[in-house]
Amino acid sequence: MTTVTSTLALPQWARRSITGRLKLVLATVQRCRDCRVDVRRIGEWYMVHDDIWAQAGTCHRGYLCIGCLETGIGRTLSARDFLNVPVNYGAGQWSRRSTRFTDRLARTP
Ligand SMILES: [Zn+2]
């Protein structure tokens, strides 16, 4: 009864509806692929240019926290690495940024 076992492993709120299961998936995919920290919770929800992901030897599917991305590229990120999009510079729902993220947005090479 593998199916029953795996269903029981889900939190009750995730088992109730398709929306609950979708929220569970979204909660999972927001984790840093390397250290598993929740990137939204720590304020490191950002977008960088594709060549930065390429330098890190990864694609832009999934997420990396800034620390793990910097480890991958072997240097500290700076403002020119980030796309000019609301998720990086916007206000309101986008304004939650970690100290590290804010520092990198202001950093010049
Ligand atoms: Zn990480």
pTM over 0.85: no
**Quick check: 96 pLDDT over 60?**
yes
How far, in Å, from the CA of 67 to the mean position of ligand 1?
A: 6
CA distance 101 to 43: 8
For 41-66, write each residue's pLDDT tens digit: 999 999 999 999 999 887 666 789 99
CA dihedral 68, 66, 58, 61 (to 10 degrees): 120
Per the CB < 8 A criterion, the answer to whether 13 and 20 are in contact is yes
How far, in Å, from the CA of 13 to the mean position of ligand 1?
A: 27
Per the CB < 8 A criterion, the answer to whether 61 and 33 are in contact is no
How far, in Å, from the CA of 43 to the mean position of ligand 1?
A: 12
Q: Which of 13-17, 23-27, 76-80 has the largest mean confidence?
A: 76-80
Q: Which residues surround ligand 1, an ion (CB under 5 A)?
A: 32, 34-35, 65, 68
